[in-house]
Structure 1
Protein backbone atom coordinates (compact mmCIF):
# COMPACT_ATOMS: atom_id res chain seq x y z
CA UNK A 1 0.00 0.00 0.00
CA UNK A 2 2.48 2.53 -1.23
CA UNK A 3 0.80 4.37 -4.08
CA UNK A 4 -2.49 6.12 -4.61
CA UNK A 5 -3.38 3.37 -7.08
CA UNK A 6 -3.10 0.80 -4.31
CA UNK A 7 -5.50 2.72 -2.09
CA UNK A 8 -8.01 3.59 -4.81
CA UNK A 9 -8.19 0.12 -6.35
CA UNK A 10 -8.45 -1.59 -2.97
CA UNK A 11 -11.24 0.81 -1.96
CA UNK A 12 -13.15 0.11 -5.19
CA UNK A 13 -12.60 -3.64 -4.78
CA UNK A 14 -13.83 -3.56 -1.17
CA UNK A 15 -16.95 -1.70 -2.31
CA UNK A 16 -17.45 -4.32 -5.00
CA UNK A 17 -17.16 -7.13 -2.44
CA UNK A 18 -19.65 -5.42 -0.12
CA UNK A 19 -22.08 -4.97 -3.02
CA UNK A 20 -21.71 -8.63 -3.98
CA UNK A 21 -22.25 -9.85 -0.41
CA UNK A 22 -25.26 -7.59 0.07
CA UNK A 23 -26.84 -8.69 -3.20
CA UNK A 24 -26.07 -12.38 -2.72
CA UNK A 25 -28.08 -12.33 0.50
CA UNK A 26 -31.24 -11.32 -1.36
CA UNK A 27 -33.95 -13.93 -1.78
CA UNK A 28 -33.55 -13.75 -5.55
CA UNK A 29 -30.11 -12.31 -6.39
CA UNK A 30 -30.23 -9.64 -9.11
CA UNK A 31 -26.97 -10.55 -10.76
CA UNK A 32 -24.58 -13.44 -11.17
CA UNK A 33 -21.08 -13.77 -9.80
CA UNK A 34 -19.51 -13.43 -13.25
CA UNK A 35 -20.89 -9.87 -13.49
CA UNK A 36 -18.31 -8.89 -10.87
CA UNK A 37 -15.32 -10.32 -12.77
CA UNK A 38 -14.68 -7.41 -15.20
CA UNK A 39 -14.46 -4.72 -12.50
CA UNK A 40 -12.36 -6.96 -10.24
CA UNK A 41 -9.88 -7.64 -13.04
CA UNK A 42 -10.00 -3.96 -13.97
CA UNK A 43 -8.96 -3.02 -10.43
CA UNK A 44 -5.97 -5.36 -10.65
CA UNK A 45 -4.97 -4.06 -14.08
CA UNK A 46 -5.33 -0.43 -13.02
CA UNK A 47 -3.24 -1.03 -9.93
CA UNK A 48 -0.54 -2.75 -11.96
CA UNK A 49 -0.45 0.01 -14.56
CA UNK A 50 -0.31 2.72 -11.92
CA UNK A 51 2.48 1.01 -10.01
CA UNK A 52 4.47 0.61 -13.23
CA UNK A 53 4.22 4.33 -13.94
CA UNK A 54 1.55 4.30 -16.66
CA UNK A 55 -0.62 6.98 -15.06
CA UNK A 56 -2.99 7.83 -17.91
CA UNK A 57 -3.91 4.21 -18.76
CA UNK A 58 -4.31 3.43 -15.05
CA UNK A 59 -6.72 6.31 -14.55
CA UNK A 60 -8.58 5.38 -17.73
CA UNK A 61 -9.04 1.79 -16.52
CA UNK A 62 -10.25 2.85 -13.08
CA UNK A 63 -12.75 5.25 -14.67
CA UNK A 64 -13.90 2.42 -16.95
CA UNK A 65 -14.30 0.16 -13.91
CA UNK A 66 -16.42 2.76 -12.15
CA UNK A 67 -18.52 3.27 -15.29
CA UNK A 68 -19.09 -0.49 -15.53
CA UNK A 69 -20.12 -0.70 -11.89
CA UNK A 70 -22.59 2.18 -12.15
CA UNK A 71 -23.99 1.15 -15.54
CA UNK A 72 -24.31 -2.62 -15.15
CA UNK A 73 -24.36 -3.35 -11.42
CA UNK A 74 -26.35 -0.24 -10.43
CA UNK A 75 -25.25 -0.06 -6.78
CA UNK A 76 -27.84 2.57 -5.84
CA UNK A 77 -30.86 0.92 -7.52
CA UNK A 78 -33.79 0.06 -5.30
CA UNK A 79 -34.20 -3.68 -4.61
CA UNK A 80 -37.52 -3.90 -6.45
CA UNK A 81 -36.20 -2.36 -9.69
CA UNK A 82 -35.55 -4.83 -12.46
CA UNK A 83 -31.93 -4.89 -13.57
CA UNK A 84 -31.53 -5.74 -17.25
Structure 2
Protein backbone atom coordinates (compact mmCIF):
# COMPACT_ATOMS: atom_id res chain seq x y z
CA UNK A 1 0.00 0.00 0.00
CA UNK A 2 2.34 2.63 -1.29
CA UNK A 3 0.33 4.82 -3.65
CA UNK A 4 -2.98 6.62 -3.53
CA UNK A 5 -4.19 4.18 -6.19
CA UNK A 6 -3.59 1.28 -3.81
CA UNK A 7 -5.73 2.90 -1.13
CA UNK A 8 -8.51 4.05 -3.46
CA UNK A 9 -8.87 0.78 -5.37
CA UNK A 10 -8.68 -1.39 -2.25
CA UNK A 11 -11.29 0.81 -0.55
CA UNK A 12 -13.61 0.58 -3.55
CA UNK A 13 -13.02 -3.16 -3.79
CA UNK A 14 -13.93 -3.54 -0.11
CA UNK A 15 -17.19 -1.73 -0.82
CA UNK A 16 -17.79 -4.04 -3.76
CA UNK A 17 -17.25 -7.09 -1.52
CA UNK A 18 -19.69 -5.75 1.08
CA UNK A 19 -22.29 -5.15 -1.65
CA UNK A 20 -21.77 -8.67 -2.99
CA UNK A 21 -22.11 -10.25 0.45
CA UNK A 22 -25.24 -8.24 1.19
CA UNK A 23 -26.84 -9.12 -2.13
CA UNK A 24 -25.86 -12.78 -2.00
CA UNK A 25 -27.91 -13.24 1.17
CA UNK A 26 -31.14 -12.26 -0.61
CA UNK A 27 -33.73 -14.90 -1.55
CA UNK A 28 -33.61 -14.07 -5.24
CA UNK A 29 -30.29 -12.78 -6.59
CA UNK A 30 -30.61 -9.59 -8.60
CA UNK A 31 -27.00 -9.38 -9.81
CA UNK A 32 -24.79 -11.62 -11.88
CA UNK A 33 -21.40 -12.66 -10.57
CA UNK A 34 -19.93 -11.47 -13.87
CA UNK A 35 -20.88 -7.88 -13.03
CA UNK A 36 -18.78 -8.07 -9.88
CA UNK A 37 -15.94 -9.64 -11.86
CA UNK A 38 -15.97 -6.76 -14.36
CA UNK A 39 -15.89 -4.19 -11.56
CA UNK A 40 -13.09 -6.02 -9.73
CA UNK A 41 -11.02 -6.29 -12.90
CA UNK A 42 -11.58 -2.61 -13.61
CA UNK A 43 -10.19 -1.71 -10.20
CA UNK A 44 -7.24 -4.08 -10.53
CA UNK A 45 -6.29 -2.71 -13.94
CA UNK A 46 -6.70 0.88 -12.72
CA UNK A 47 -4.40 0.11 -9.79
CA UNK A 48 -1.82 -1.39 -12.16
CA UNK A 49 -1.81 1.68 -14.41
CA UNK A 50 -1.73 4.04 -11.42
CA UNK A 51 1.25 2.26 -9.92
CA UNK A 52 3.06 2.51 -13.27
CA UNK A 53 2.68 6.30 -13.58
CA UNK A 54 -0.20 6.21 -16.06
CA UNK A 55 -2.33 8.58 -13.99
CA UNK A 56 -4.84 9.64 -16.64
CA UNK A 57 -5.65 6.06 -17.63
CA UNK A 58 -5.93 5.02 -13.97
CA UNK A 59 -8.27 7.87 -13.09
CA UNK A 60 -10.45 7.19 -16.13
CA UNK A 61 -10.64 3.49 -15.26
CA UNK A 62 -11.57 4.23 -11.65
CA UNK A 63 -14.26 6.68 -12.77
CA UNK A 64 -15.53 4.19 -15.35
CA UNK A 65 -15.66 1.41 -12.79
CA UNK A 66 -17.57 3.57 -10.32
CA UNK A 67 -20.01 4.53 -13.10
CA UNK A 68 -20.39 0.84 -14.02
CA UNK A 69 -21.17 -0.09 -10.41
CA UNK A 70 -23.66 2.75 -10.01
CA UNK A 71 -25.42 1.96 -13.31
CA UNK A 72 -25.47 -1.85 -13.29
CA UNK A 73 -25.25 -2.89 -9.63
CA UNK A 74 -27.26 0.05 -8.24
CA UNK A 75 -25.85 -0.05 -4.69
CA UNK A 76 -28.28 2.57 -3.38
CA UNK A 77 -31.45 1.00 -4.79
CA UNK A 78 -33.92 -0.29 -2.21
CA UNK A 79 -33.89 -4.02 -1.71
CA UNK A 80 -36.74 -6.40 -2.44
CA UNK A 81 -37.75 -6.35 1.24
CA UNK A 82 -38.09 -2.56 1.39
CA UNK A 83 -41.48 -1.28 2.49
CA UNK A 84 -43.25 0.99 0.06
CA distance in 2, matches of 1:22, 1:4: 27
For residue 37 of structure 1, report the CA deviation from its aligned partner.
Answer: 1.0
**TM-score, normalization: structure 2?**
0.93
Q: Secondary structure at the match of 2:2?
A: coil
Partner of residue 25, structure 1? 25
Q: Secondary structure at the match of 1:28?
A: coil
For residue 29 of structure 1, report the CA deviation from its aligned partner.
Answer: 1.2
Q: Kindly provide the CA deviation profile for residues 21-67 of structure 1, in whole angstroms up to 9, marking residues without a partner as x.
A: 00000011111211111110000000000000000000000000000
CA RMSD across the alignment? 1.1
**Uncovered stretches (5+) of structure 2, i.e. residues with no partner:** none
CA distance in 1, matches of 2:35, 2:66: 13
Aligned length: 81
CA distance in 1, matches of 2:3, 2:29: 35
**Uncovered stretches (5+) of structure 1, i.e. residues with no partner:** none
- Kindly indicate whether residue 2 of structure 2 is the aligned counterpart of residue 2 of structure 1: yes
Give runs of ≥4 in structure 1 deviating > 4 Å: none
**TM-score, normalization: structure 1?**
0.93
